[in-house]
A and B are shown apart, each in its own frame.
Chain A
Amino acid sequence: MENAVTIEPPMITPASAPQQQVASDSEPDAAPERAPAFEVERLSIFYGEKKAIDGVALTVPSKMITAIIGPSGCGKSTLLRSLNRMHELVPNTRVEGKVLFGGEDIYAPDVDPVVIRRRIGMVFQKSNPFPTMSIADNVLVGLKLNGVRDRAFLRERLEQSLRMAALWDEVKNDLHKPGVSLSGGQQQRLCIARAIAVEPEVLLMDEPASALDPIATAKIEELIHELSANYTVVIVTHNMQQAGRCSDYTAFLYLGQLIEFGSTTKIFSNPTERRTEDYITGRFG
């Protein structure tokens, strides 16, 4: 059962990486680049009695960077986590509505969240390399624990993932050292390498640079930009400049409701909603 998802041989090269699963068979006429990665339909999420997300409808384009912005406590992280069912780790959560991933409802009763998370990876606010593992093991843990044994393949994937995470040159001579021996920014890039080593189709990022200094932040942002060539990226940020700098689309969330969604240029220069403008210009938040 663990090996049901076969890990294909390396096919990602930084230049081109077709991820055609997104254009699934259920929508044969959709052109691959145009097919959305996620279609969120009337999604509401409850923690016990509390409604954290209220009727959000959103279409996340594939191979683009979508930023979710909004004041603290507005449900940004919950919305992000609902895209790969990570919010279910909190007991007593309830979901209404649908999240279609490649046309398939990830909340359908027969869907295994473990399989969903293999296809939709996640990077967290606080970098969290496993303290018992070396740099190399941290990158490869997702593959190894899912049964990949082929050494040559693992070695290749190790280098490839670290290169894509712009970390290879810094760690190539220290692969056996503990992952936690790296600096904060390097640890976060290690976590990104770990997430992409399993070749997901989407990377969800929950404030990936908020704990980093400006130089490390700039590196992460550049990396996110490069990753969007191959991956759909959804990034939560409370830093509006960051959303403006590095995203293609922006969703503004307020009190659990989606206030506005559109291209980042439009949201930041000519928002339709008054509340979006007030938040962008810093009148509240």
Chain B
Amino acid sequence: MKNNQYPSWRKTKSALAAMIAFVCALLVIAPLALVFFHLLREGAGAVSWSFFTELPKPVGVAGGGMANAIFGSFQLLGLAALAGVPAGVLGGVYLAEYGTVRSNWLLRFVADVLNGVPSIIWGVVVYGLVVLRFKSFSAYAGGLALGFIMIPLIMRTTEEVLLLVPTGYREASLALGISRWKTIVYVVMKTALKGIVTGILLALARVAGETAPLLFTAFGNRFWNHDLAEPIAALPLQIFSYAISPYDDWHRQAWAGALVLVVMIFLVNILVRVLTRERLARVL
């Protein structure tokens, strides 16, 4: 009965371990709370109706907003989705439904390497591929850079949710004389649709805050953008350029922009939670 020799010391150790785990758990939550607290304190005052509706004002003129940057961000995300979603989803379909063991090993390895590529590298690549060739920064270039970042993310989440679809459904469909691609599209992907959408939303949320790949692709501007072949404003870019400026007024605007961006991403994450909860209820 050696274990019971020093019961008080054993209990103390147990309590200590529980305490350390609890503190570590708090450390996970703390940064989010800190970010929100700080952004609300600094930014909430500057968020107003005009922030969402007005263009940036020149230095020294009070007021103004980031309407063009908010709209530009959505345009860039739309372009990124056009570039990244088809390749990502179909790549995931290949991994889950067609690939051999060897090709899948290679693809997953490459996708994981791509996931680890710093986002500024994508900016440089697209600068070389698109901006230099067309001799102009553009929304297309920015969207493409973001799209490249999304591809491996969407590919892996799509693969995972497709593999969650039980084999029995594939077999049942094939046994009805339904061809392979129709089985995949109308049975497998339809069953996993919410999971696929979730993966796309998470990838969009991830790239929505990217600044580095936009620095020399989308470039940013201070006006409404009418032509996707021209430089376009984006929320993270605007925050960046305002934050490094020497003007207090612009600093306040940068805080407000950061708050808006974080709240938008937060809302997407909540939407994803809701979607996944229903998906799990359905699969199980």
Complex CA–CA separation, A145 to B188 (angstroms): 14
Q: Are B171 and A124 in contact (CB under 8 A)?
A: yes
Query: How does the 8 Å CB contact mask read for A84-122 relative to B, with 1 for contact and 0 for none?
Result: 101001010000000000000000000000111111011
Please indicate the chain B residues that have their CB under 8 angstroms from the CB of A146 in the complex. 177-178
Q: Are B179 and A195 in contact (CB under 8 A)?
A: no
Checking A5, A130, A195 against B175 with a beta-carbon cut-off of 8 angstroms, the contacting residue is: A195
CB distance from A125 to the nearest CB of B (A): 9
Complex CA–CA separation, A134 to B168 (angstroms): 18
* Interface residues of A, count at CB 8 A: 29
User: How many of chain B's residues touch chain A, expressed as a range?
Assistant: 20 to 34
B176 within 8 Å of A (CB atoms): yes
Q: Are B191 and A132 in contact (CB under 8 A)?
A: yes
A131 within 8 Å of B (CB atoms): yes
Supplied contacts A89-B170, A128-B172, 13 more A-B pairs, CB within 8 Å: A5-B177, A89-B174, A114-B178, A115-B177, A117-B176, A124-B168, A124-B171, A124-B172, A124-B175, A132-B191, A141-B173, A145-B178, A146-B178
B282 within 8 Å of A (CB atoms): yes
B166 within 8 Å of A (CB atoms): yes
Please indicate the chain A residues that have their CB under 8 angstroms from the CB of B12 in the complex. none
CB distance from B126 to the nearest CB of A (A): 38
Report if A118-B172 is in contact (Cβ < 8 Å); known contacts: A128-B166, A131-B191. no
Complex CA–CA separation, A167 to B187 (angstroms): 23
Q: Are A141 and B168 in contact (CB under 8 A)?
A: no
Among residues 182 to 207 in chain A, which have CB atoms less than 8 Å away from a CB atom of chain B?
A: 191, 194-195, 198, 200
CB distance from B281 to the nearest CB of A (A): 11
Which of B166, B168, B171, B172 has most A Cβ within 10 Å?
A: B172
Query: How does the 8 Å CB contact mask read for B147-188 relative to A, with 1 for contact and 0 for none?
Result: 000000000000000000010111111111111101000110
The count of A-to-B residue pairs whose CB atoms sit within 8 angstroms is 76
Residue of A at shortest CB range from B166? A128
B14 within 8 Å of A (CB atoms): no
Among all A-B residue pairs, the 6 with the closest Cβ atoms: A118-B177, A142-B176, A122-B175, A128-B168, A117-B177, A128-B172
Query: How does the 8 Å CB contact mask read for A149-190 relative to B, with 1 for contact and 0 for none?
Result: 000000000000000000000000000000000000000000
B residues touching A (Cβ–Cβ < 8 Å)? 100, 166, 168-180, 182, 186-187, 190-191, 193, 282-283
Please indicate the chain B residues that have their CB under 8 angstroms from the CB of A126 in the complex. 168
Q: Are A130 and B174 in contact (CB under 8 A)?
A: no
Q: Are A128 and B169 in contact (CB under 8 A)?
A: yes
Q: Are A142 and B177 in contact (CB under 8 A)?
A: yes
CB distance from B257 to the nearest CB of A (A): 41
Checking B170, B174, B178, B282 against A141 with a beta-carbon cut-off of 8 angstroms, the contacting residue is: B178
Please indicate the chain A residues that have their CB under 8 angstroms from the CB of B172 in the complex. 122, 124, 128, 130, 191, 194
Please indicate the chain A residues that have their CB under 8 angstroms from the CB of B177 in the complex. 5, 114-119, 121, 142, 146, 198, 200
Residue of A at shortest CB range from B100? A91
